[in-house]
């Protein structure tokens, strides 16, 4: 892909690349990242974005600066007063989940199970909740 093509694609799909500074700033704040220099840097990058798209070389330099700031955001610790637990790995996610209620064994007939399953799948497909039995 030629740099000019990449530049044109970016102009249409910046949000897909994760390089829209205003969105990244908002997401970092909502994730509880402690405010810092990165917040001001992302605001500056957002203002510079239109001019950065004028040529492939300006765009490349802007992308490099943007990526460096986003790397800094990811290294920023979560605020101590952040009220939510946001685990980063599967083990921590499992540990933080409430215990699931026990699943009772099916005690009906195979035919009754097939009818209930069929009804549930039809309801799911058609976007409706289960009807009371």
For the entire predicted model, the pTM comes to 0.57
* 4-42 confidence digits (pLDDT tens): 666 666 666 665 665 688 888 888 899 899 888 888 898
pLDDT the model gives residue 46: 86
Rg (CA), the chain: 24
Tally of residues, the chain? 133
Return the structure tokens found at 112: 């009754």
CB within 8 A of 25, min separation 6: which ones? 39, 42, 43, 46
Higher per-residue pLDDT: 8 or 43: 43
Q: What are the E-state strand segments in 2-117? A: none
- Kindly state the helix (H) or strand (E) to which residue 37 belongs, with its residue range: helix 37-52
* 81-127 confidence digits (pLDDT tens): 999 887 878 999 999 888 888 988 999 999 999 999 999 898 888 87
């Amino acid at each position: 892909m030629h740099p000019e093509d990449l530049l044109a694609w970016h102009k249409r799909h910046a949000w897909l690349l994760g390089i829209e500074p205003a969105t990244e700033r908002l997401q970092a704040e909502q994730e509880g990242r402690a405010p810092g220099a990165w917040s001001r840097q992302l605001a500056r990058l957002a203002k510079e974005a239109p001019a950065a798209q004028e040529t492939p070389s300006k765009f490349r330099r802007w992308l490099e600066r943007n990526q460096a700031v986003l790397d800094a955001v990811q290294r920023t610790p979560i605020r101590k007063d952040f009220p939510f637990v946001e685990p980063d790995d599967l083990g921590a996610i499992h540990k933080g989940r409430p215990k699931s209620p026990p699943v009772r064994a099916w005690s009906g007939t195979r035919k009754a199970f097939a009818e209930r399953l069929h009804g549930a799948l039809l309801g799911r497909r058609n976007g409706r909740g289960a009807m009371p039995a």
